[in-house]
Structure 1
Amino acid sequence: MPKNRPYLFHELTNSICSTCYRKLEAKIVFQDEKVYLLKRCPTHGPEKVLISTDIEYYKRCREFIKPSEMPLRWNTPIRYGCPYDCGLCPDHEQHSCLTLLEITDQCNLECPICYAESSPKRQTWRSLAQIEKMLDAIVTNEGEPDIIQISGGEPTTHPHFFKILDMVKSRPVKHIMVNTNGLRIASDRKFVKQLASYLPGFEIYLQFDSFEAEALEDLRGVDLREVRKKAIQHLNEFNLSTTLVVTLKKGLNDQEIGKIIQYGLKQKAVRGVTFQPIQAAGRLNSYDPATDRLTLSEVRQMIIDQSEIFQAEDMLPVPCHPDALAMGYALKTDEGVIPLTGLIDPDILLKGRRNTIVFEGDEELKARIFELFSTNHSPHSSALSLKQLLCCLPLVSTPEEIGYDRVFRVIIMQFLDAYDFDVRSVKKSCVHIAHPDGRIIPFDTYNLFYRDEKEKRLKELQALYGNEG
């Protein structure tokens, strides 16, 4: 009698060896109610990587797909195959929903966890000429970029920070974000007042990992609780739209997910929370990928268990990149917080039809919610539509009584690393980084292959393995 394998073989994909980065064939299998990636390197042997703790959600992600939206141009030809041709090459399947514009390698912190390996020791800034070239590349690719996120390093340390903001604002960019640790926002009220002058279409992407000193010291090397408190006070004072960004490490700060959501809901300036499990790239002090990794499905379940707002039907895959992005939206009303995502016909996300909302309750509130999710976006509204913030969401009308400040979003954003790398997923990546030479490269592959000195190693990989896949 032949033996059965201990798993159910589901799909085939390509991955890379987590040691040498050689491209490998990989199996997706279901075992013990979980989803695993199985791969074998001829040199470094087999690997078994947990990629989801929820088989049904994993399968549902395969249903949340939409026609790919292409950039206006390609930046590199196809020579070696994904992931060795970034980018964007003609084999990529998604334009840039969000593009990072890194303006400096310098930072006023030296976080033990940093994908860019920034620190006070790195005293290098992009020149205005370099930044203009990178900006022009983004606009040429996108026409009207959805979101440009100014990042680093710590971007607020750049000596020409506001001149760079003016450069971005002068271009046809729908939404600008500044990715910051908040130190300058906490210490300089005048600085925050000047930032607020860039509203609307401007947002702070604020590092906000924990309320506990131990967790902050583990992730950031210093207790930042007082800094966070002062930063939020200044942002609330000027009602400067803010997203709290939580880097998650298993067993360290994942039990605070619900508390951070509830905190964000109470802050005037906060429009949502983004949870990002650590990507095993860059500087990784005291991080063990075997024990400290979190999958998107685990974070999603923690949001459901801890938030007291979002249920399973409220945290959905994002169709442009369902493996890596999940979203939940809520409406802040006088009656309380109402989750919205579960009220939307999923076909809207996939086909762009007018929304069908099923909602039992107050008819006036129902009408207001329907108006919020109508496709007739008001050109006179000063608030951005969700469509402009995440390209695969429906257009959102924001009349005076339901402005952008009434909509609260929770997003899970998981970036691939060498362990869970899946070529199918990286082809759908919509979060990209502008390379100084003008290429636009997916975040996942940039940090593995294209950042700083890593590109030298990429040349070796191209020569050794580029034609095998």
Structure 2
Amino acid sequence: MTLPVLRPSAEGLVKPGEEYVRSTLSVCPYCSRLLPAAIVARDNKVYIRKRCPEHGEIEEVYWSDYEMYKRFLRYWHDGKGTAAPTFPLQGENVCTQNCGLCPYHINHTALANIVVTNRCDLTCWYCFFYARRDKGGFVYEPSLDQIVYMVRTLRAERPVPGNSVQITGGEPTLREDLPDIIRAIKSEGIDHIQLNTNGIRIAQHPELCRTYREAGVSNLYLSFDGVTPRTNSKNHWEVPYVLDACRGANLGVVLVPTVIRGHNDHELGAIVRYAQRNADIVRAVNYQPVSLTGLMPREQREKYRITIPDVIHAIEEQTGGEVPSDAWFPVPSSTPVTHVVEALTNAPKYELSIHPHCGAGTYVFIDKSNNRLVPITSFIKVKELLNDLQELAEKVQSGENKYLAAAHIALRLQSYVIKEKEPPGVDVAKMLTKALLRHDYSSVGEFHMRSLFLGIMHFQDLYNHDAERVQRCDIHYLNPDGRIIPFCSYNVQSYYYRDLIMRKYGIPIEEWERRNGRRLESGLYRGELRRGKHHPNCGCDLAPGASPASSPGS
């Protein structure tokens, strides 16, 4: 694949005492001009710097740990691209300002977002989704036919048809026809449907959880910003009711904290412990360092900015070292597994080959004898395993007999496992044999059920924007106009994408109110579950019956 030039000159952007890392393209946060940018390192931190001829120099922290940056960089991998682009190349600005997906995009869609409404029942201070009456607002709610069209566009992707969808918003559960939407998406061949929600309507109406699961939802992607009312005024009191509803419906939960420095970064370890206590239904925690939307002076950005290494180091410290920093790997470290399966089946498979500095993850198990967390790296030689899997894939691709190669790797699987440290009931070698060689993935599901996945995904903003990250993105938005747009283009440069698309396909608030016979504000949550006696497992530091007067909706 011929890629656009994303290596413009860094001349004049690297200062004395800094180490030049690489060049890319970025944008000016004030005028959106596409600019050459330099990634540089100093004092073990990584920065991105660009200079606008009109607005001057803009510098932003890119990664807070240069050593970890270099370790993650080893897993850089070019993905499959898209052989069925949904948008032709237009003009000179190939990347970020006319996404769609274009032929230059390096990755297929791993997770497709479908916004089913921009209505929400909360008014959180850092969210960009709420339909505002005082801003000439509108309601965006694509029809069932439009949603089916979007999913069919996803399924038409090549070489790998998309089969994982996240229903998002706004707050998706405000749509009364959500079960019909879920069934329609499922009927188009989508295997995995994730519902992004604050959980409040489910807390109020627990029966919805079973309804959504029976319609086809695979798991809830549940907003969860902290373990105290101060850090999580959004749904602190309601989450325990949501978890109970999910237990009753046997629907797994991913906790999703938006991480903001100085607001909730002191509770990152406590969030892991909360997931640990509810591990019967919580399958993962996916931290999302805040994307600083809108114009913000540098002092304010420094106050709130937190990067992936910051989160990793905080979790290590706050769990007493039970989840160490070296247990984390970048998302594309998983590609050797994909390559082995592809080599043995001779068919393209999903490949999580995003930019290595977009996200990180690890698995932990719970040792029930002492209630300690056991990271996967403590009993599996992960680096050696990944290296050998990649070597196996390359041998088969170069012509070696795949059966002999598979037999060779099967004999070696036990050597990657430190048996005396392996958690009771976990047989990693057996799981890998079934998944890689027999293509039986039932054991992988069992692995996920027994473990707790910890992930971090840092979406960009205009200050740390890196066009190369967008080019390698595999989390995309489906749209009624047929375009499939990378997450960080859709939301960061919303004036080109989200705002225009939603306004084009939305209706004025007044028209929505006439059609539905109620005011938009009638859907706002009034804190009904926050009054009176609280759920016994909410972890609230208020006495039963006390009123959290400073909380929204009280």
TM-score > 0.5 by shorter chain: yes
Structure 2 counterpart of 1:157, which letter? L
How many pairs were matched up? 429
Q: Which residue of 2 aligns with 1:32?
A: 43
Q: Which residue of 1 aligns with 2:330?
A: 317
Q: Which residue of 2 aligns with 1:23?
A: 34
Report the Cα distance in structure 1 between the residues aligned to 2:357 and 2:432, rounded to whole angstroms: 25
Structure 1 residue 54: Cα displacement: 0.8
> Which residues of 2 match residues 29-108 of structure 1 at below 5 A?
29-79=40-90, 80-108=93-121
Report the Cα distance in structure 1 between the residues aligned to 2:83 and 2:206, rounded to whole angstroms: 40
Residues 275-306 of structure 1, C-alpha deviation per residue, up to 9 Å, x if partnerless? 0011123799xx93232111111112112222
Seen in structure 2, the aligned counterparts of structure 1 residues 150 and 296 have a Cα distance that, compared at 3 Å, is same
Residues 300-322 of structure 1, C-alpha deviation per residue, up to 9 Å, x if partnerless? 21122223432122111111221
Structure 2 counterpart of 1:188, which letter? H
Q: Say which of 327, 330, 352 aligns to 2:364.
A: 330
Structure 1 residue 407: Cα displacement: 2.1
State which structure, 1 or 2, has the greater radius of gyration over its C-alpha atoms: 2
Contact 2:82/2:105, CA 8 A, preserved across alignment? no
Residues 89-138 of structure 1, C-alpha deviation per residue, up to 9 Å, x if partnerless? 11111111111011111111122111434469754421111111111111
More divergent stretch after superposition (308-317 vs 34-43) = 308-317
Structure 1 counterpart of 2:364, which letter? A
Report the Cα distance in structure 2 between the residues aligned to 1:363 and 1:441, rounded to whole angstroms: 42
Work out whether 1:371 is the aligned partner of 2:407: no
Report the Cα distance in structure 1 between the residues aligned to 2:323 and 2:51, rounded to whole angstroms: 39
% same residue = 28
Work out whether 1:445 is the aligned partner of 2:489: yes
Q: Which residue of 2 aligns with 1:194?
A: 211
Structure 2 counterpart of 1:161, which letter? L
Contact 1:324/1:415, CA 8 A, preserved across alignment? yes
Residues 208-255 of structure 1, C-alpha deviation per residue, up to 9 Å, x if partnerless? 1112222234xx4xxx22111211222223331110000011010011
More divergent stretch after superposition (241-250 vs 353-362) = 353-362
Structure 1 counterpart of 2:106, which letter? E
More divergent stretch after superposition (118-127 vs 23-32) = 118-127
Seen in structure 2, the aligned counterparts of structure 1 residues 280 and 39 have a Cα distance that, compared at 3 Å, is same
Q: Say which of 361, 369, 382 aligns to 1:345.
A: 382
Report the Cα distance in structure 1 between the residues aligned to 2:197 and 2:431, rounded to whole angstroms: 30
Q: Which residue of 2 aligns with 1:397?
A: 444
> Which residues of 2 match residues 138-153 of structure 1 at below 5 A?
138-141=154-157, 144-153=161-170
Report the Cα distance in structure 2 between the residues aligned to 1:54 and 1:376, rounded to whole angstroms: 35
Residues 30-72 of structure 1, C-alpha deviation per residue, up to 9 Å, x if partnerless? 1122111111100000011111111111112221123413334
Contact 2:28/2:52, CA 8 A, preserved across alignment? yes
**Which segments of 5 or more consecutive residues in structure 1 lack a partner in the other structure?**
384-395, 457-469
Seen in structure 2, the aligned counterparts of structure 1 residues 123 and 362 have a Cα distance that, compared at 3 Å, is closer
Structure 1 residue 85: Cα displacement: 2.4
Seen in structure 2, the aligned counterparts of structure 1 residues 55 and 139 have a Cα distance that, compared at 3 Å, is same
Q: Say which of 479, 485, 502 aligns to 1:435.
A: 479
Q: Say which of 417, 440, 458 aligns to 1:414.
A: 458
What is the RMSD of the two structures over their aligned residues, measured on CA atoms? 2.7
Residues 400-445 of structure 1, C-alpha deviation per residue, up to 9 Å, x if partnerless? xx45321210000001111011112111111111122111111001
Structure 1 counterpart of 2:365, which letter? L
Contact 1:17/1:418, CA 8 A, preserved across alignment? yes
> Which residues of 2 match residues 224-303 of structure 1 at below 5 A?
224-267=235-278, 268-281=280-293, 288-303=300-315
SS at match of 2:303: helix
Contact 1:328/1:409, CA 8 A, preserved across alignment? yes
Contact 1:359/1:366, CA 8 A, preserved across alignment? no
More divergent stretch after superposition (136-145 vs 7-16) = 136-145
Seen in structure 2, the aligned counterparts of structure 1 residues 442 and 104 have a Cα distance that, compared at 3 Å, is same
Structure 1 residue 144: Cα displacement: 4.2
TM-score normalized by structure 1?
Answer: 0.84
Seen in structure 2, the aligned counterparts of structure 1 residues 362 and 445 have a Cα distance that, compared at 3 Å, is closer
Report the Cα distance in structure 2 between the residues aligned to 1:403 and 1:424, rounded to whole angstroms: 33
